[in-house]
């Protein structure tokens, strides 16, 4: 265990499941205290108990729904009230909205953009100034391989929101680097978590070969190493890196043609 004076604190959104829980375990194992947030407080509490016992770290739980525009301010106030300063911010919370753009109500899209785009930028805007003052900090914004490949029919705002996260993180990384802060846009591909149960795509995506999938613990370990190294965009796994590379160097019409066929397996459109 690291001594109290040198301990650092990581705030992780979407820590009640999947990649967020795995990131909480990785940060705790690396000597960080934690602030965990998501909607399901019971899940967060049981993870917190486990991490306190296993790593002797302090863990603070804040239940919040990021679809509520007031949530980032509420989280910031709770952190300040607890006398904590956040050294590492992980914007991980997210979900998918299946179907075509016009099949969902505007309210559903509005909430989606709030969680996937606005809350990410809002939390960075609130917590980065403290990192600048302390001249150190780490920010992981969880994007996706879907933010790199061209859009396909269905799940319309998902790829767009993840492209935003990548471009936003790239700019922020360059702005904050002189202040000793590393910002990483993390781009996982298919990862075992609750994601495809929540968006009811498990049946479709289970047709994909096993080698296309990664486990959340590996994604989280690689994310931690990437932000510590200062990688600005990190794509998890060799297969996903090959797809990202091919996307960059293959004519868009060809990528679109391949995607159109392939996307049927994991996109409801
Ligand atoms: N799994 C994949 O294949 C994959 C691939 C690429 C990128 N990603 C990205 O990875 C991130 C984590 O996803 P995951 O795969 O770990 O999915 P997951 O297992 O479903 O976990 C999603 C987390 O986000 C939280 N969340 C969802 N809506 C929220 C809201 N309105 N307010 C607050 N928290 C909310 C959930 O907590 P509560 O339900 O308790 O609120 C949960 O902790 C997401 O940004 C996702 O887009 C996933």
Of 146, 193, 196, 244, the one to substitute when testing ligand 1's pocket (max ligand atoms within 8 A of C-beta) is: 193
Q: What pLDDT shows up at residue 122?
A: 99
Element (H, E) at 191: strand 191-192
In this prediction, residue 90 carries a pLDDT of 99
Query: 251 by DSSP, 3-state: which?
Result: coil
146 contacts: CB under 8 Å, gap ≥ 6:
155, 158, 159, 162
DSSP string computed for 121-159: HHHHHHHHHHHHHHT-EEEEEE--GGGTSPP-SSSHHHH
CATH number at residue 139: 3.40.50.720
Residue closest via CA to ligand 1's atom 42 equals 14
In the predicted model, is pLDDT for residue 216 greater than 80?
yes
Tens-digit pLDDT profile for residues 129-158? 999 999 999 999 999 999 999 988 899 999
Cα 254 from Cα 45, distance rounded (Å) = 48
> Which ligand 1 atom minimizes the distance to the CA of 22?
16
**pLDDT tops 70 at residue 269:** no
Q: How many domains are contained in the chain?
A: 1
Average pLDDT over residues 180-192: 97
Q: 95 C-alpha vs ligand 1 centroid, how far in Å?
A: 5
* Averaged pLDDT score across all residues of the chain: 94
pLDDT of residue 5: 53
Which of 20, 94, 107 to mutate to test ligand 1, by most ligand atoms within 8 A of the CB atom?
94
pLDDT digits (tens, 9 = 90+) for 18-47: 999 999 999 999 999 999 999 999 999 999
The CA distance from 232 to 123, in Å, is 18
How is 225-240 classified by DSSP, letter by letter? Answer: HHHHHT-SEEE-SHHH
Ligand 1 atom showing the smallest separation from residue 190 Cα: 3
Catalytic member of 95, 158, 234, 249: 158
3-class secondary structure, 111? helix
Enclosing domain of residue 147: 4-265
Instruction: Please confirm, yes or no, whether 95 is among the known catalytic residues.
Output: no
The more confidently predicted of residues 187 and 201 is 187
What is the pLDDT, as a whole number, of residue 2? 47
> What is the rounded average pLDDT of the residues 170-194?
97
Candidates 13, 21, 41, 226; CA nearest to 120 is 13
Tokens of 204: 């479709």
Quote the ligand 1 centre to 195 CA distance (angstroms). 6
Expressed in angstroms and rounded, the spacing between residue 70 Cα and the centre of ligand 1 is 19
How many whole angstroms separate alpha carbon 59 and alpha carbon 28? 9
Q: Tell which one of 19, 185, 266 to mutate to probe ligand 1, the residue whose CB is within 8 A of the most ligand atoms.
A: 19
Closest to 165 measured CA to CA, from 184, 191, 197, 143: 143
pLDDT at 1 over 50: no
Higher pLDDT, 252 or 35: 35
Pocket of ligand 1 (CB under 6 A): 14-20, 38-40, 43, 65-67, 92-95, 115, 142, 144, 188, 190-191, 193-195, 198
The number of the ligand 1 atom at minimal distance from the alpha carbon of 40 is 40
Q: What is the model's pLDDT at position 220?
A: 98
Q: Would the pLDDT of 3 be above 70?
A: no
Q: How confident is the model at residue 268, as a pLDDT?
A: 67
Q: Residue 19: which residues within 8 A CB-CB, separation 6 or more?
A: 92, 142, 188, 191, 193, 216, 219, 220, 223
Nearest Cα neighbor of 47 from 71, 18, 68, 4 is 18
Residues 6+ apart with CB under 8 A from 237: 188, 189, 214
């Amino acid at each position: 265990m690291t001594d109290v004076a040198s301990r650092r604190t990581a705030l992780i959104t979407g820590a009640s499941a999947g990649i967020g829980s795995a990131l909480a375990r990785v940060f705790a194992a690396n000597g960080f205290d934690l602030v965990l947030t998501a909607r399901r407080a019971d899940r967060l509490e049981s993870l917190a108990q486990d991490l306190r016992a296993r790593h002797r770290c302090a863990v603070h739980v804040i239940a919040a729904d990021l679809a509520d525009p007031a949530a980032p301010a509420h989280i910031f106030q709770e952190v300040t009230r607890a006398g904590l300063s956040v050294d590492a911010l992980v914007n991980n919370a997210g979900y998918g909205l299946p179907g075509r753009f016009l099949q969902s109500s505007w309210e559903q899209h509005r909430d989606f953009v709030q969680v996937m785009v606005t809350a990410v930028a809002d939390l960075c805007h609130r917590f980065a100034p403290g990192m600048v003052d302390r001249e150190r900090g780490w920010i992981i914004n969880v994007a996706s391989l879907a933010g790199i490949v061209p859009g396909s029919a269905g799940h319309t705002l998902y790829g767009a929101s993840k492209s935003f996260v990548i471009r936003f993180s790239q700019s922020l990384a360059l702005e904050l680097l002189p202040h000793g802060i590393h910002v990483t846009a993390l781009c996982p591909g298919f990862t075992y978590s609750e994601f495809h149960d929540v968006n009811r795509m498990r049946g479709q995506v289970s047709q994909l070969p096993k080698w296309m999938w990664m486990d959340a613990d590996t994604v989280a370990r690689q994310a931690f190493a990437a932000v510590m190294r200062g990688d600005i965009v990190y794509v998890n796994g060799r297969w996903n890196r090959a797809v990202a590379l091919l996307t960059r160097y293959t004519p868009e019409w060809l990528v679109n043609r391949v995607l159109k066929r392939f996307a049927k397996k994991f996109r409801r459109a």
